[in-house]
Each structure stands twice: as structure tokens, then as C-alpha cells.
Amino acid sequence: MQYDQCKTCRRLGQKLFLKGDRCLSGKCAFARNSNTPGPARKRKGGSMSDYKRSLVEKQALKKWYGLSEKQFKAYVQEALAKMGKVENISAELIKEIEKRFDNVIFRAGFAQSRAGARQMVSHGNFIVNGKPVNIPSYNVKKGDVIEVKETKKKNNLFKSVAEIIKKKEAPAWLVLNKEKMEVKAIGDPDLLEVNPPAEISLIFEFYSR
């Protein structure tokens, strides 16, 4: 799985930080070899077609968030349906994906990767507004309070998390209480702060063909 993640970054030509902090270390495989996987003769070629470029942008953002094609396409189509109703559909797309429960857990620093955050959510480690939620795609809304279950805080996993989040800073739309291991949504994600690794307009073009 980890090897496949490294190949994904090499194939798309950019570091997507799919392994969290490991991607910032000297162990990063992409830093050692950023060439496209496969025979050298297949890596050569002329300029990228418009279709290929939009495909690459789509794949980069989809892989960055760790979504399936079905999930990602649904978010894109939802954003496209709001064209003319919202000021910026690129910002709308990113906002809705960022508000996924698993992404919020990742952004708050509880997990080093979105894949790890998704597993933590699926295993029922958290409660939202006092009720257990184990659905990674759950849409976190303004005012929602996410807490680690009291019975889970004694686990070795969350003892480590408690130390890790002391060094983390959550994005502006989240408030992280490091002592209580609690996260509260106080607004909406901002496109500029998120700084996604893709040109969103090309992704809309891809799905509008």
C-alpha cells in the first residue's frame, strides 16, 4: 500500500503527502526518485494533451483526499450543480470535501494521513455532539464538536496522539482543544488556506466533457 502511494506521487509528478510526516523526512521515496514509474522509453513524449492534463489534475486531487472515483465524481457534480448559485464553485468543491469527518480528523492532527484518519473514524473512536459517528464521509457542520471517546483516550494510540497534537496547529475554521482532545468547527474551509495540489477548473472541464 505504501509503495503504491509513492508510485502515485511519481505518476502524477508531485508530492501529495499521502504518508503524512514521512513525506517530510529523508525516507520519502518521491524525493529519492521522482521519475514516472515504468520503462524509460515510455516516460518520454511531447506536450500533454488537454484531456491528459485535466485527467492528471483530477487524479491528483482525488488521490490527495483518498477518495474513490464514485465519491469524488459525486462531489464534483454537486459543485457543478451550484454553478451560478455560489460565488466560486472551485471553493465550493474544496469546502465540501474538507468538511468530511475523516479529513477534519486529519486536519486536527489526530492522524498523520487521511487514510489513517479514515481508519480511526471507522473504528468508532469519536463522538460528534455527544453521539458516536463512524462514517468517514459524515459532513462536519459549523458548531459541531468532535471528541475522542473517553474509553479510547487510555489507548496507546491516543496517548501518542495527545503528544503529537501539542505541536500541531489546526486550520482557521477549526478550534482544537489539545488538553481535552476536542475539535470544534467554527466556520468553513478556505480555498487559499487549503491550497489544493490541482487546478480545479480543469477538473470541472474533465467531468463536463
- Check residue 30 and give its pLDDT: 58
Alpha helices in the chain (DSSP H): 2-12, 29-32, 40-43, 50-65, 69-80, 89-98, 101-107, 114-122, 156-164, 191-194, 200-208
Question: 100 forms bridges with which residues in the sheet?
Answer: 139
Minimal CA–CA distance to 27: which of 55, 12, 6? 6
Mean pLDDT of the region 149-171: 93
Mean pLDDT of the region 140-163: 95
Task: Enumerate domains of the chain plus CATH numbers.
Answer: 2-41+49-83+198-208 (1.10.1050.10), 100-185 (3.10.290.10)
- Check residue 47 and give its pLDDT: 83
- Check residue 207 and give its pLDDT: 96
Query: Which pLDDT band, with edges at 50, 70 and 90, does 66 fall under?
Result: very high
The bridge status of strand 145-148 relative to strand 174-177 is: unpaired
- pTM here is 0.81
| Per-residue pLDDT reduced to its tens digit, 71-123 | 999 999 999 999 999 999 999 999 999 999 999 999 999 999 999 999 999 99
Alpha carbon distance 54, 60 (integer Å)? 10
| Per-residue pLDDT reduced to its tens digit, 12-65 | 676 676 766 666 566 666 566 666 666 654 555 568 899 999 999 999 999 999
